[in-house]
Amino acid sequence: MKTEKQYFDEAIPLATYMDKMEKHKENSFRIYEQFEVPKDDEFIALLKEKKPNILAITEDWCGDAMLNNAILRKTCEAADLDVRAVYRDEDTDLIDRHLTNGGRSIPIYLLLGKDGEVEAKWGPRSPIIQDDVMSRRKELPNNDMPDYEAKQKEFYEQLMAEFTTKPELWLSVYEDIRKMFLPALQKQA
């Protein structure tokens, strides 16, 4: 069984992953180009100092990954940090070690320490976005209703529109990644 560090070593840079995207490439780059990493942040300084490896488990078709990967990439570039991506569906052994509520939800970001061990994990959504998505899902009709597919499509279109136009959502992703990774960075020798 491969370690997370072995997956990282074999993974592609997140920038290459984004360049190869097909489904959500334009929207992901729209976020990436507009998001500005907070300037006065000890998180960026610690990332620069500690130089951890960060591994993203992701897929092109995922709307959450479209949003979050752009934020993670911009953050890691601000810290001159290598971040790499693996495709969830190419080898499910890795994602099966990092399930969210029993599911293969993505993206998942793994902060690896100097020994290659996972020191922190983030994903697949910031709490603000998760609460909003779950609240809106309750408004959808049952999946056996005739209007379910149309309503679900409308729901996803609304999410994509908000994900690509609301900087407060981008900042919520950044702040939650920071919240999850900062304590692990502070503990590193």
Domains and CATH numbers, the chain: 4-125+167-187 (3.40.30.10)
pLDDT given at position 39: 86
Q: Is 147 exposed, middle or buried (0-12, 13-18, 19+ CB in 10 A)?
A: exposed
Distance, in Å, from the CA atom of 127 to the CA atom of 150, rounded to the nearest integer, reads 27
What is the pTM (predicted TM-score) of this model? 0.94
pLDDT given at position 188: 81
The 10 Å Cβ neighbour count of residue 148 is: 13
pLDDT given at position 189: 65
Angle among Cα 112, 104, 54 to the nearest 5 degrees reads 20
Digitized pLDDT (tens) for each residue of the chain, 189 residues in all: 899 999 999 999 999 999 999 999 999 999 999 999 998 778 999 999 999 999 999 999 999 999 999 999 999 999 999 899 999 999 999 999 999 999 999 999 999 998 999 999 999 999 999 999 999 999 999 989 999 999 999 999 999 999 999 999 999 999 999 999 999 999 986
pLDDT given at position 40: 73
73: left (phi over 0), alpha (psi -120 to 50) or beta: alpha
pLDDT given at position 63: 93
